[in-house]
A and B are shown apart, each in its own frame.
Chain A
Amino acid sequence: MDKALRSNFAVIAEREPPPTNSNALPNLQTVTLIVENMRCGGCMSAVEKALLAAPSVQSARANLSAKRVTASYNAAATNPEHLVATLGHAGFKAAEVANGRDKAQAREASDLLRRMGVAGFAAANVMLLSVSVWAGLASDMDASAQALFHWLSALIALPAIAYSGQPFFRSAVGALRAARLNMDVPISLGIILASGMSLFQTMRGSDQVYFDAAIMLTFLLLIGRFLDESVRVRAKGAAENLLGLKALSATVIGTDGQPRRIPARALSPSMRVLVAAGERVPVDGRIVNGTSELDESLITGETLPRMVRVGTDVHAGTVNISSPIEVSATATDENTLVAEIARLMQAAEQGRGRYVRLADRAAQIYAPAVHILGALTFLGWMIAGAGWETALTYAIAVLIITCPCALALAVPAVQVAATGRLFAKGVIVKAPDALERIAETDTVVFDKTGTLTIGEPRLISPEKMCPDVLAQAASLAAHSRHPYAKAIVRAASKRGLAPKWHSAVREVTGAGLVAGTTQNEERLGSAAWVGADTDGGDQTATLWYRKGRAALTPFHFEDALRSDARSVIGDLQEAGYTVELLSGDRPHATSLAAAGAGILEWRAGVRPDGKIGRLNDLSALGRKVLMVGDGLNDAPALAAGHASLSPASAADICQTTADAVFQGEHLLPIVETLKVARAARQMSLQNFTIALGYNALCVPLAMAGFVTPLIAALAMSASSIAVTGNALRLRTRRLALQPRWTKEKHA
């Protein structure tokens, strides 16, 4: 992206007559905006045109893959908020990119691409020369021409390997320094030995020259690594877009008493923030003015709103329900809840760092094995009396032929195919080893509010209510932004009852809605305020309605389950997964949700440390837990689980922590993720088998001294293509979540 910016400035500098430096220009600034619903070329040009139509926008360039647009504008005349509003008028939902953390990774990907280009050029030219030599061996090429071709190959291959192979060499050195073995150790050794020996043999005028194999290997491996990296850049960008679109703007009351909108991240402690009814609180702070109710489900999992008044601490992410409040922002670390969660997360994340990836686990067996084989070859030929030079040549040939090209491509190729397939289904896989960990899980632990449920209340059985009463209550409720009131309106309109517009409805904070004269008063609100006589044992969330002296009507609410919750849980259980529910909500609501979804094992009122405790208990029992959660109170558990998923509606910290984020209202992506992860694991193992099978065929040849450069080059390319082709099948294969019989038998 930064290059695009630079070329922006270059163009502008050429356009403005005195092209001296940027000081001579109007105060030009560049901003990158996320545009969520830019989906095709038409949208792309519409976005660019909409921005250019705004005064003081100098240039705009949309990036369709990243769903972002970069604009340079005159900072004196406009600001990013205006540009976002401009795009809003054109029908595009836009937001400013919160931070450009993915730049380093994008640079990494383009660095790999550059090395790949160099390796590809070298590989093509060395191959050209090698094919001539191979053809010459069968016909009439003389020794001097062959030597010339070998020297030319060396001239092209050696610098190219020295440049392109660096990512592998660096990684191998890093692993060795940490006294570990990874796939890059045998790769680097194979490449370096192949080049070194080829150079030596070229000097001697022998035909044991493997430059083609060495550079081809580098090229193929770089392709795998680049694809892996670029998929991750894309996933990270998509995840950042999700967060950026959720980022809030806040209304700040300035020292002059005038309100103005600023982005929430620009807030600083002691600023006074006005939070209107229905808005999300953008910052941690203390209420200095106003009384209201807060929906804290994203923080605690509790669905019942909490009454707050002057002096109450509020957390970012909660929703202000009934009336405007003024909050004085405090620093985050003053806040005990958030600080506690951060501390728990830090502790929980340390466990995950110990996970060793499949390929590296394979390398820990593979690398010593091939090195022992090489040594055996050397010793064997020495004992057979072949002389040290021949023995060494054959030993190195073994190391070249066992260089785990296919093995190193086996996992990345599957990863790329699997991640791409999930991306198309709205699942963004962020952690590089996420799929491997997800595939190993045998237990799924759900959070309730916002994960298993939609996170907004629904009126229970509206069809059993008297339509008149429902219509009257809806007419009152239409005046409020309270989630319960909105639920009544939704239920009424679903039954075809249109709310009538009352002119004199008053909302009483923390109590309810009232309309009409004292004789014929209508009230909709809490039990005490309406005058209902409850025994206090009623656990469900309830509003009461009364008209005049008529009888009271209760409206019970529940947090509705996601529409496919029951079938998804059923699928998971059928496939042998143990499903649990851990909620911070009250026992009654939790038991209802558990019963509705068909979950047998549930716990209610669990605090963040309690969730971690439960996960630790499960892992002590030998279970690998997939944690699915969305609230701030789930974040530590997401970090503690063996793997974790978050819906896109989750708190920022959860989306950052989770291994993968799924979009949409359905839970089905969870099943899809498990399916793909398990298929990916299966195909990685298949690929290992293919790669090892090829080794089983070639290593005896190499040990016996029959390997020629032609066989090495052919075998290497063939096995790499075979594993890549196998991995690509994952894109289109039909997958089923099969019962885990094998696992069950073990347990």
Chain B
Amino acid sequence: MTALAWLIPAALLLGLLGLAAFLWALNSGQFEDLEGASWRAIQDSDAPDSPPVNESDNTPRTREDD
């Protein structure tokens, strides 16, 4: 029974982490272009040495990135 005292909070915390991640993703617009996102993952147009563009964050592609 004592195991429950930390197992249940741990389970809830993990669930909450998942929820928080989902809400963050939703607010940062990751669900706005599901088709485009799947293509961006395999695009190799960005030079490998350029700073990684955080595509999932819906950061616009900018001059400096190219």
On chain A, the residues within 8 Å of B31 by CB distance are 110, 113
CA A245 to CA B27, docked complex, whole Å: 30
Q: Does A37 contact B (CB under 8 A)?
A: no
Query: Quick one: which of A263-299 are within 8 Å of B by CB?
Result: none
A60 and B61 contacting across the interface, CB-CB below 8 Å:
yes
B59 and A11 contacting across the interface, CB-CB below 8 Å:
yes
On chain A, the residues within 8 Å of B49 by CB distance are none
Q: Does A15 contact B (CB under 8 A)?
A: yes
How many whole Å from B4's CB to the nearest CB in chain A? 7
On chain B, the residues within 8 Å of A114 by CB distance are 23, 26
Q: Does B8 contact A (CB under 8 A)?
A: yes
CA A66 to CA B35, docked complex, whole Å: 9
How many whole Å from B55's CB to the nearest CB in chain A? 10
On chain B, the residues within 8 Å of A49 by CB distance are 45, 66
B4 and A41 contacting across the interface, CB-CB below 8 Å:
no
A7 and B36 contacting across the interface, CB-CB below 8 Å:
no
A11 and B60 contacting across the interface, CB-CB below 8 Å:
yes
On chain A, the residues within 8 Å of B4 by CB distance are 145, 148
How many whole Å from B36's CB to the nearest CB in chain A? 3
A65 and B62 contacting across the interface, CB-CB below 8 Å:
no
How many whole Å from B26's CB to the nearest CB in chain A? 6
Contact with A along B20-44 (1 / 0, CB 8 A): 0011001111011111101110110
**A-B pairs under 8 A by CB, number:** 99
Q: Does B47 contact A (CB under 8 A)?
A: no
Q: Does A383 contact B (CB under 8 A)?
A: no
On chain A, the residues within 8 Å of B59 by CB distance are 7, 11, 61
Query: Quick one: which of A54-105 are within 8 Å of B by CB?
Result: 57-66, 70, 72
How many whole Å from B51's CB to the nearest CB in chain A? 12
How many whole Å from A147's CB to the nearest CB in chain B? 13
Among A65, A66, A152, max chain B CB count under 10 A is at A65
How many whole Å from B44's CB to the nearest CB in chain A? 10
19 residue pairs bridging A and B, Cβ less than 8 Å apart:
A3-B29, A3-B32, A4-B60, A7-B28, A7-B57, A42-B39, A49-B45, A52-B62, A59-B60, A61-B61, A64-B35, A65-B32, A70-B60, A110-B26, A117-B19, A117-B23, A117-B26, A121-B19, A145-B4
Q: Does A8 contact B (CB under 8 A)?
A: yes
Instruction: Apart from A41-B40, A57-B63, A121-B16, list 14 A-B contacts with CB within 8 A.
Output: A4-B60, A7-B28, A42-B39, A49-B45, A58-B62, A58-B63, A59-B61, A61-B58, A62-B36, A64-B39, A66-B32, A117-B23, A121-B19, A125-B12
CA A70 to CA B29, docked complex, whole Å: 13
Interface size bracket, B side: 35 or more
B contact set with A: CB distance below 8 Å? 1, 4, 8, 11-12, 15-16, 18-19, 22-23, 26-29, 31-36, 38-40, 42-43, 45, 57-64, 66
CA A128 to CA B28, docked complex, whole Å: 29
CA A1 to CA B19, docked complex, whole Å: 22
B23 and A61 contacting across the interface, CB-CB below 8 Å:
no
CA A148 to CA B11, docked complex, whole Å: 15
Supposing A4-B29, A7-B28, A152-B8 touch, asked if A64 and B36 sit within 8 A by C-beta, the answer is: yes
Could you say which of A41, A58, A156 contacts B39, with CB atoms under 8 Å apart?
Answer: A41
Query: Quick one: which of A110-124 are within 8 Å of B by CB?
Result: 110, 113-114, 117-118, 121, 124
Q: Does A36 contact B (CB under 8 A)?
A: no
CA A45 to CA B61, docked complex, whole Å: 9
A41 and B60 contacting across the interface, CB-CB below 8 Å:
no
A3 and B58 contacting across the interface, CB-CB below 8 Å:
yes
On chain B, the residues within 8 Å of A4 by CB distance are 29, 32, 58, 60
A63 and B63 contacting across the interface, CB-CB below 8 Å:
no
Q: Does A203 contact B (CB under 8 A)?
A: no
On chain A, the residues within 8 Å of B57 by CB distance are 7
CA A587 to CA B38, docked complex, whole Å: 55
Supposing A3-B29, A117-B19 touch, asked if A65 and B60 sit within 8 A by C-beta, the answer is: no
How many whole Å from A534's CB to the nearest CB in chain B? 58
